[in-house]
């Protein structure tokens, strides 16, 4: 199946959410193929459908003073953080072509990131009953999805080299007993997003059986799968 991957660059969260919703409608109508949007966000905290407000450890006014916005969104899951140095992926997929199975979708997202970590010599793993990708007992990637008319949006957040101190502003994903890490910390060196993007795109295409072609978007990133 043909699809595309598009790098949106550094983008404010609300603008990216608007693009997702517009693309969901187009994919549902068959006007656009399955698309993987990749983006780096300005600092933002998002609250999923099952989020508990007490997992936001500071008042929104105090966060705003630090330049961190807060959004309540329709994805599954609790509270999470996005910011510079984190690779966020929003797969807009018509699940009529990939199976109407949300558990399988989550496992496939995990598989993409586990394979990408392996390319860097890092052994990522699943850690039931929690969703996401872990190294040991620390989470390196969070996952939360939403579906509208069987088209997916929201997706995954891969900690490449973010400011890990910002995760102390929340109880990440509502999990207080385990920590958060990044690829940079695991490798002991700085890591640029552009080191990681080709690996994520390649494995995404492979796991979902897609051929990703260059796109007319802001900046295409293509990989044959």
Query: How many separate domains does the chain show?
Result: 1
* Residue 218 resides in a domain: no
pLDDT digits (tens, 9 = 90+) for 203-221: 999 999 999 875 434 444 4
The model's pTM is 0.89
Check the CA dihedral 182-129-200-83 and report its sign: negative
> Is 173 annotated in the active site?
yes
Measured in whole angstroms, how far is the alpha carbon of residue 212 from the centre of its chain? 18
**Exactly one of 24, 173, 193, 210 is catalytic; which is it?**
173
Extract the tokens encoding 169.
């502003």
Whole domain around residue 97: which residue ranges? 2-213
Within-domain flag for 196: yes
In this predicted structure, which of 95-99, 178-182, 192-196, 221-225 has the lowest mean pLDDT? 221-225
pLDDT digits (tens, 9 = 90+) for 138-168: 999 999 999 999 999 999 999 999 999 888 7
The verdict on residue 222 lying in a domain is no
Task: Report the candidate in 154, 142, 135, 151 with the shortest Cα–Cα distance to residue 96.
Answer: 151
Q: Do the beta carbons of residue 166 and residue 43 sit within 8 Å?
A: yes
Structural element, H or E, at residue 189: none
Q: Tell which residue, 17, 197, 1, has the closest CA to residue 94.
A: 1
Give the closest residue to 86 by CA, choosing from 172, 148, 146, 19.
172
- Are 71 and 46 in contact by the 8 Å Cβ rule? The answer is yes
Residue 164 forms part of a structural domain? yes
User: Residue 72 maps to which CATH number?
Assistant: 3.30.930.10
Asked if residue 223 is part of any domain, the answer here is no
Report whether 182 contacts 162 (CB < 8 A): yes
Rg (CA), the chain: 16
Query: Cα separation of 98 and 157, whole Å?
Result: 21
């Amino acid at each position: 199946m043909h699809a595309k991957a598009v790098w949106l660059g550094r983008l404010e969260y609300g603008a990216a959410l608007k693009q997702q919703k517009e693309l969901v409608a187009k994919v549902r109508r068959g006007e656009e193929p399955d698309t993987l949007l990749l983006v780096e966000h300005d600092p933002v905290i998002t609250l999923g459908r099952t989020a508990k407000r007490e997992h936001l450890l500071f008042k929104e006014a105090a966060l705003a003073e630090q330049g961190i916005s807060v959004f309540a969104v329709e994805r599954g899951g609790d509270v999470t953080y996005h910011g510079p140095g984190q690779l966020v992926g929003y797969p807009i997929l018509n699940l009529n072509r990939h199976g109407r199975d949300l558990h399988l979708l989550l496992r496939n997202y995990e598989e993409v990131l586990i394979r990408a970590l392996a390319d860097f010599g890092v052994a990522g793993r699943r850690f039931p009953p929690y969703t996401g990708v872990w190294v040991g007992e620390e989470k390196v990637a969070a996952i939360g999805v939403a579906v509208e008319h069987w088209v997916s949006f929201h997706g995954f957040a891969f900690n490449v080299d973010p400011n890990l101190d910002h995760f102390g502003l929340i109880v990440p994903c509502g999990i207080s007993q385990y920590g958060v890490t990044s690829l940079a910390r695991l490798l002991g060196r700085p890591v640029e997003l552009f080191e990681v993007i080709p690996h994520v795109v390649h494995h995404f295409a492979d796991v979902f059986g897609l051929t990703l072609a260059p796109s007319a978007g802001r900046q295409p990133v293509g990989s044959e799968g």
